[in-house]
Structure formats: structure tokens, C-alpha cells
Structure 1
């Protein structure tokens, strides 16, 4: 197997082992393809991966055009600027990074009627980091309600990027706080089913604490100056 095939098999094995250990029904994989060329996405798609995460709208649109022959699912995982709502609503299947109410109406307005509603995750700044996007935990309920009120949007759950910490217990605590928020949200809104948290170095910990979706880049593609295929 080449690097791409080996890396993909390794990540899938890690997810499956973590899911079984946690008795979790599902733990979906989003391959973080930001800064990766379309060829790298195509190579990973050949291994069976379908969901890909991008940080930048324009970079993703160009990549999508090159890969239009493939049945891929595109997730916007980076901060969304208000002037990019139209393109985000038109070109993505999921928005994982909704962090403020002012984006809700334009996203709904620009979602093409011919497409399914845009799947939306509310991003939470769970560790209150000044450098991170995301709403405060106390604002989740109101922002989620705004999404749920729009027929062209579909509230699916929450996303977070906890602060990096060498102590696993610190990350575990953040994941547990996210799980508590997720459980509260799920009790209020039918259809909430996705808790996106965990990356290359902590996906097992995230799944153990309730993640239903993990976002993995480095473990799949390797260092960004390496040919991942």
C-alpha cells in the first residue's frame, strides 16, 4: 500500500477501536483537506473517504470544481466571514463553524431550493480562548434555536476545538463539557445527532467522551509538504 492507503487504514482502525471501546454507535470521519491539493483528496477518495473539511471558502470551491466527478461531501470547518455566506450556502453540505446569529438569515436565504437543507453545527469556544472562533457555551441555546427556525437549515449539533493541552485530563474535561452541552441541545431539538470534536492526536479521547464525528488531517495526509498519495 502507498502512504495514502496505509494512513487511511490506520485512522479507520483507530476510530473503530475507539468506538468499540466506548460502545459508541457511530464515529464519522471528516478528512481535513485544507491546503491539500485536489489530487490528494482524489487519492483519499479512492480509498473510500467521502467527507472532506475545508477552512477557506474560495480554496474549497476551486477544489470542488476539480473534483466534480466524485460524490463527495463538503464540510466548511473554518471561520465563516459574513461576506462568504452566499458561497458557503451554495457550495457546502455542512457548516461546522456557525458562531454568531447574524449569519443565520443569509445562509438560509442563499441555500439553493434544489439542494437539501444545509447541515449546521454550532461552534463552541469551550475553553474561552481569545484566539478561537466559536460562541460562548451560554449562547448555544439561542443560536441553535435561530438555526432550527430556518427551513433551509438543518440543526445537527455542536463542534469544538478545545485548547491544546499536554495533560489528557484537561482535554477530557473540555470534551465532557461539550458532551453535556450536546445532551442538553439534543433534549430540546429533534434531529440533533452530531458532536464534532477530536483530531489526529486525541480522537480516541474524544470518542470516549461522546464524539460522533472527528476531524482528521495530519494523520491522513502527513506533513503538509509531503505528497499524501
Structure 2
């Protein structure tokens, strides 16, 4: 299994490189986040031995067990956040991609241990404005970003989105382009903030995301194989 896992890992790395070349971008400008939710620590350690350092998790209790075994890795929380789960997230993660309410940001800030660096966060944007999805609307994102950026124990790094599925790469690019323009707007309004991250693009649309400026792609299925439950990576 390790062999096929590594083969898939290298295949995804090659896709990222090819998409960057096509977009006239440096391959190192796009970071790969391996979405390891529901996957065993053995797979994570195998990838770590082959150079992968960043891993994304959705489920708090499951992820805490993994983090305890590999605290040296960079851990990203990418799932929905319940208010009663903010404390362990604030205490154990390096990044949070799914901040979708001011209340959640405030709790993460107040619960971040003083001995740790500020928690890197991304605002989740409902860029396709789907009723079934959480996240700020584009207008709300512009309004709330300044307030959240002032919270003392957080570092607002950018935006995250999971757009509505599209039938071809041209259609996939449309919401990603809107995300790029939204981040550019925030950068102009907050010139001193380290707004450098667009977390967008998954197994089925990473090429379109990279074409439109993604700096981090979240890949689960195409690295770890098909999941037993529904996936958002």
C-alpha cells in the first residue's frame, strides 16, 4: 500500500508542477496540503518520510490523536467548527481554514495559548453563495476581515473556498477568479496584513485553482485513495 500511496503523492506533485508551468508560476508558489482525515497515522508518517509536512484534518478527536504522535508536522484544521470545539483547535493546530463566524474567530483568539505563535487563520467564503454551505458572503468577508485581523492571538492569512462543482475547467475557473479578486481587495484595504494565502482547489479542480492564483491546494482522494465517507478534498 505504501508504494501506491507514494505513487499517488508524486502524481499529485507532478500535476501541481504542470499546472504552475502552464500558468507561468513557480511550482514553489503553491503548497500542497494533504487531507488526511479518516486516514491512519501510518499513511501520514509515510508521506512525511517522503517530504510532505502539511496535513489537513476535519475531526477534532481523531486529529488530536494524530497530532500527539507527530507534533513536529504542520497541522491544518479544515472542517466545520462547533463553538465547543474551539479550545482544542486553538491549542493544537497551526492553521485553521474554516473560520466562518466572528464568534468562532473570537473564541480561537481568546483560547490560543500565550506560549504559542498566533494561530494562522483563513476566512471561509461561500463564493458560489450556496444555501447548503457555510461561510461568509463576499460582501461580508470585506466587512468582517478588518475586525478579525485585529484579534490579538490570530494571524489572518487569507481566504478559503469550496466552490460549487462545475462541468469543465473554464467553469471551474470562474469562482476561483472571484476569490482571487476578493483577496486582492482585502490586500488593498489592509496593506500591512500578511494576506498571502488562497486555499482553494481539490482533487478534481486543482488545475483551475492554480490558474487563478491558489497558493494552497487541499488534496485528499488523489493522494490517499477513495474514502469510505463523503469527502470535501
TM-score normalised by L of structure 2: 0.92
Match of 2:195 among 174, 182, 192: 192
The residue that corresponds to 1:223 in the other structure is: 226
**1:210 equivalent in alignment to 2:194:** no
Q: 1:35 corresponds to which residue?
A: 38
Instruction: Provide the secondary structure at the position in 2 that maps to 1:126.
Output: coil
Deviations 1:110-144 (A, max 9, x none): 11111110001000001111222211111102321
Residue 109 of structure 1 aligns with which residue? 110
> What is the alpha-carbon distance in structure 2 between the residues aligned to residue 152 and residue 172 of structure 1?
34
3-state SS of 1:64 partner: helix
> Shift in Å at residue 23 of structure 1?
2.2
Q: Does 1:66 align with 2:78?
A: no
Contact 1:197/1:215 (8 A) holds in 2: yes
Q: Note the 1:115-130 alignment, pairs <5 A.
A: 115-130=116-131
Q: CA shift at 1:170, angstroms?
A: 2.4
1:201 lines up with 2:211 in the alignment: no
Deviations 1:183-214 (A, max 9, x none): 11122222100001001111111000111110
Q: What runs of 5+ residues in structure 1 fail to find an aligned partner?
A: none
**In the aligned structure 2, how far is the partner of 1:97 from the partner of 1:48?**
25
Q: Which residue of 2 aligns with 1:21?
A: 22
How many residue pairs get aligned? The number is 223
Moved over 3 A (4+): none
Corresponding residue of 2:174: 173
Q: 1:78 matched to which residue of 2?
A: 79
Unaligned runs of 5+ in 2: 229-233
SS at match of 1:78: coil
Q: Distance in 1 between the 2:127 and 2:80 partners?
A: 15
- The answer on whether the counterparts of 1:104 and 1:146 sit within 8 Å (CA) in structure 2 is no
Other-structure match for 2:152: 151
RMSD: 1.3
